[in-house]
Homo-oligomer: A and B are copies of this chain.
Amino acid sequence: MEETVKRFKKRLEELRVYDHAMGVLYYDMETVMPKGAIALAGDTLGALSKTSYQLQIDKAFVADIQAILAHPDAVDPITLCEAKRMNEARERIACIPIDEYVACQIESTAAFAAWQKAKAQNDSSLFLPHLEKLIDFKRRFALYYRPDAPAYDTMLGQYEKGLSTETLDAFFRDVQSALVPLIDRIQKNGYQPDTSFLEQSYPIWKQRELTKYLMQVMCMDPEHSACGEVEHPFTTNFSKADVRITTHYYENAVQSSMYSVIHEAGHATYELNIGDDIARSPLGTGVSMGVHESQSRFFENYIGRSEPFIEAIFPKMQELFPEQLAGVSAHAFYLAVNKAEPSLIRTEADELTYSLHIMVRYELEKQLIAGTLKVADLPEAWNEKYREYLGVDVPSDAMGFLQDMHWSDGSFGYFPSYAIGSAYGAQLLNRMERDLDVWTLAGEGNLQPIIDWLKERIYQYGCRLDPKELMEQAFEAPFDPKYYTEYLTKKFTALYRL
């Protein structure tokens, strides 16, 4: 068994090398690579991915995994858990013929480039044929893996193990019935806070200073983290030693990058606080997208959009933007960044209407994968749903179904994790308030005790526990979406004096 474990660990290290190289190539592609190199980068990523795939399905490696799984008592718990996770990952990809797997990687890169162009030129015809191919690939892959399950449910499970359309249908019904009347009341009420000061010119080089400050407030160790600039912000990590967030600066919307940075810093905080015992292990990363989004949205919304936290960081903002924020109080800023109004763009949406944006995407991708919605009909279907749920007219595909990058690389089933994550976050906050004086800490800009609490209950485990097990352990209760709807109802009732 000793030799088996040694070989197994050696292969894990080889796989880490390929993951690291591919991760850096991808990060580079998004942040600094000149656009004309996309074909080159696509070929390189395709080739590395092929080698990594072969290493993962290699018979000798599979035999080692199975030997470990057959003798769970003969190895330490981390090795056993690694073998389980590798086996799960292998089962998901081993069923895919290698040529199709590689073709899909290459198509993903091409589709991503086409999406960028389509969005920039507001020309959906450049992207739709790629989207069709990606859907075909991903549907087929899901059915290879679980021939008897609906393909979309299988995709959901890739981002959040155990999540199903049944759960989500119920979840979105609850959300819709709690929030739509509240949104209506706000609309009818007529009052909206002044947001004109947010739309002034905030020089980008000064916004970069704000990013540095916010990363510091979020306790991100500069020895192990950095921030890049991209079209659509994301976070990536190459072990807890190297965690990268990204942002996009808009000169006339300082709150955009500001909250994007806090959101991504939430993801980064999770990765930076993985247990040292699994730092270089495949277990050493966040367990699921839902749990990840629970952290990003916890810091973005529950902390970042709270009045005490805004009071804590506002002096620094006034120092950076004395002219733009002249005569503006922390309270006025708090009101402005919490303005709730149905709108077009998900990433700019307020906390209250956000889940409706997700609901649109959830319903559409469910139909696309089931084949009940044709790709050619997607743009119009998108626009209809926005009219129905949010009451807004979509003026262009660039501001419509082309706005998000997720479908451009085939991440179907990802969106719901944003909504589930928000709901996890609200329940976590409720539990945390029993142990910590959260709002005093937020008011001091002292987030370390909050991060320590989350590390203790969530971060340190990496992928050692399944999402459900992990969250129930953290909640000390089953998951319940009521904390989410209650939180939103309370906050926005007060904000809008309803």
Contacts and interface: CB of A to CB of B under 8 A. Distances in A.
A88 interface: no
A205 interface: yes
A25 B21 contact: yes
Interface stretch (A236-244, A302-310, A374-382): A236-244
A39 B203 CA distance: 36
A224 interface: yes
A411 B94 CA distance: 44
A224 B37 contact: yes
Interface in A26-45: 27-28, 31-37, 39-41, 43-44
A48 interface: yes
Interface string A275-306: 00000100000000000000000000000000
Interface string A40-71: 11011001100000000000000000000000
A281 to B, nearest CB: 13
Nearest to A224: B36
Most B-side CB within 10 Å, residue of A25, A27, A238, A242: A242
A226 B33 contact: yes
A222 interface: yes
B37 A17 contact: no
Contacts of A25: 20-21, 24
A159 B374 CA distance: 58
A361 to B, nearest CB: 31
Given A36-B242, A224-B36, A44 B28 contact: no
A43 B10 CA distance: 13
A39 B223 contact: no
A91 interface: no
A225 interface: yes
Contacts of A280: 40
Contacts of A32: 31-32, 226, 228, 244
Nearest to A46: B17
A14 interface: yes
A227 to B, nearest CB: 9
A43 B223 CA distance: 18
Interface string A192-206: 000000000001110
Given A20-B44, A44-B17, A44-B21, A36 B228 contact: no
Interface string A373-400: 0000000000000000000000000000
A222 B14 CA distance: 35
Given A14-B47, A205-B205, A34 B228 contact: no
Interface in A223-260: 223-226, 228, 238-239, 241-242, 244
Contacts of A486: none
A48 B48 CA distance: 11
Given A21-B21, A226-B33, A241 B39 contact: yes
A221 interface: yes
Contacts of A31: 32
A12 to B, nearest CB: 12
Given A37-B241, A40-B239, 18 more contacts: A14-B47, A16-B44, A17-B43, A17-B44, A17-B48, A21-B24, A21-B25, A27-B28, A28-B28, A32-B228, A32-B244, A34-B223, A34-B225, A36-B241, A37-B224, A37-B239, A40-B280, A203-B205
Would you list the 3 A-B pairs with minimal beta carbon distance, nearest first?
A36-B223, A37-B242, A205-B205
29 contacts: A13-B47, A14-B47, A16-B44, A17-B43, A17-B44, A20-B25, A20-B40, A20-B41, A20-B44, A21-B48, A24-B28, A27-B28, A31-B32, A32-B244, A33-B226, A33-B242, A34-B223, A34-B224, A34-B225, A34-B226, A34-B242, A35-B223, A36-B224, A36-B242, A37-B242, A39-B241, A40-B241, A41-B242, A205-B205
